[in-house]
Amino acid sequence: MLNSKYYIPILKWKRAEQNALKTLTKERKKYITPLIQFVMPKAKPNEQFEETVTRFEKQLLEIPNKIIDVWGTTAVFVDVSLLFTTSLKVKSLKTIVQKGNKLGGTFIPVIHLHDEDDIKEKAFFLARQNNRGLCIRLVCPDFLNQNKLNQDIARLLLSSKLKEKDIDLLVDIKETNGGKEKYIKYLNLSQNILNIKKWRTFILAASSFPEDLTKCWIDEENLLPRIEWKCFKDCLTSSNLQRKPIFADYTIQHPVYKEATQFFHPSSSIKYTLANHWLILKGKKQEFGMYLASAAELVKDKRFYGENFSDGDKYIVKRAKHYSSYIKNPEIKGTGSAETWLRAGINHHLELVVNQIANLP
C-alpha cells in the first residue's frame, strides 16, 4: 500500500492541525497518510469529567465528515489511545472508523500492543469488516523483551485473524532524547520483529522537537536539529537493514501529548522547519506583535522557502507585510493567534517533508 516515498505525520485532531491538513495541495496529500490522535476536549471551568466525556461523545458523529472534508477519502490512521476510559475509546473507534469508511474514506484503526481487549477486538472487527487493514503501534517498552514481543505479536495476529500483509507496523520511538542512539537502537531492534518483511508497511516514528521552548532565546538564533530526519536519511543508505522504514514524525510538536491547562499561554514563537533543523523565532507570552516582527524578519532570510512554497508560507508573508502597519498602530491587531501560527508551521512542515521524501535518492 505505502512505499518509502510516503510520509506519516502524527497529529492531534485540533483546529490548527485540521486546517494545516486541509490547505495542503492535492498533489502533496497523495504522499501523506496522517495518523490522527484524538484527544479529549479542553475541560471548561468547573466542568465535571463526565460532562467532558459527554461533550466529546456528542461531537463524535461529526468527526468522520470533518475528516473527509479536511482530508478527503485517502487513507488516514485513527488512534483513540489518548481518550479517557475504555468505553469511550471503543465507542470512538467504532463511530469514527465505521462511519468514515461508509462515507467512502479509508479509515484505518490503530491499536497498541497492550490495549484493553475490548479495544483490540473492536479494531480487529473493523479491520476485517472494512477490509482497510489495521495499524499496530509499538512503543519502546514493548521492546524490553524481544522474545515476549514476538510472542505477543503472534498472539495478536492469531486473535485478529489478520495476516501481516493486512497490518501496518508502526514503531513509535517518541523522543529521540537529543541523539541518534535511541533511533538507531529501535530501528535495529525493529529488524528482529517476526516476519518484518511481510508486514504491509513498516513505519518508524520519532521526534526531537522539544517539550517546550525554554532552551530557546529571543536574542539568539535557535536552530534545533531534526535528528529523526537525519537518522532516517542515514538508514536508507544502510545495507544491514532487512526492511527500511517509512518516515513518521510529530511535525513541529513534542511527541508526548500534554493537555494544556486553562491558564497556559504559549509564547508568540514561530517554529519554521528547515531542511535539517527547526528554526525557532522565539517570542514572549501574550505579546502577539512578536509574531509579526519575527515573520517580517523570516521572510527576508535567505532560508525562507518563499510565498509559493506552501499555504503556511503564504500566511507568513501576509503577516510579515502587515507588520509595518501594525508597528505604527498596534490597535489594528491582525497578529494571528497561537492556533493560526501553529497551522502555518505544520502546513509548511508537511509540505517540506513530502518534498524532501520525494527528492530522496
321 touches other proteins by CB under 8 A: no
| Residues in a beta bridge with 246 | 203
Nearer Cβ to other proteins, position 283 or 336?
Answer: 283
Under a CB-based contact definition with an 8 Å cutoff, are residues 124 and 162 in contact? yes
CB-CB neighbours of 302 under 10 Å: 4
219 touches other proteins by CB under 8 A: yes
> What region, left, alpha or beta, does residue 251 occupy, with left being phi > 0 and alpha being psi -120 to 50 degrees?
left
Smallest separation (angstroms) from other proteins to the CB of 272? 11
Full strand arrangement of the beta sheet holding 270-273? 222-225, 277-281, 270-273
Smallest separation (angstroms) from other proteins to the CB of 273? 16
337 touches other proteins by CB under 8 A: no
281 touches other proteins by CB under 8 A: yes
Cell numbers 532570510: residue: 301
Distance (Å, whole) CA 333 – CA 356: 36
Smallest separation (angstroms) from other proteins to the CB of 262? 27
Nearer Cβ to other proteins, position 143 or 323?
Answer: 323
- The residue within the footprint of other proteins, chosen from 11, 123, 156, 290 (CB under 8 A), is 290
Nearer Cβ to other proteins, position 205 or 296?
Answer: 296
Rg (CA), the chain: 21
187 touches other proteins by CB under 8 A: no
CB-CB neighbours of 152 under 10 Å: 16
Give the x/- contact pattern for other proteins in 299-318, rule: CB under 8 A.
-xx-----------------
From the list 74-82, 130-138, 180-188, 215-223, the region that binds other proteins by CB under 8 A is 215-223
296 touches other proteins by CB under 8 A: yes
- The residue within the footprint of other proteins, chosen from 283, 312, 336, 345 (CB under 8 A), is 283
211 touches other proteins by CB under 8 A: no
- The residue within the footprint of other proteins, chosen from 221, 260, 264, 332 (CB under 8 A), is 221
Q: Please, which residues have CB within 8 angstroms of residue 329's CB and are 6 or more apart in sequence? A: none
Q: Which residues bind other proteins (CB under 8 A)?
A: 218-221, 281-283, 287, 289-290, 292-294, 296-298, 300-301, 323-324, 327-328
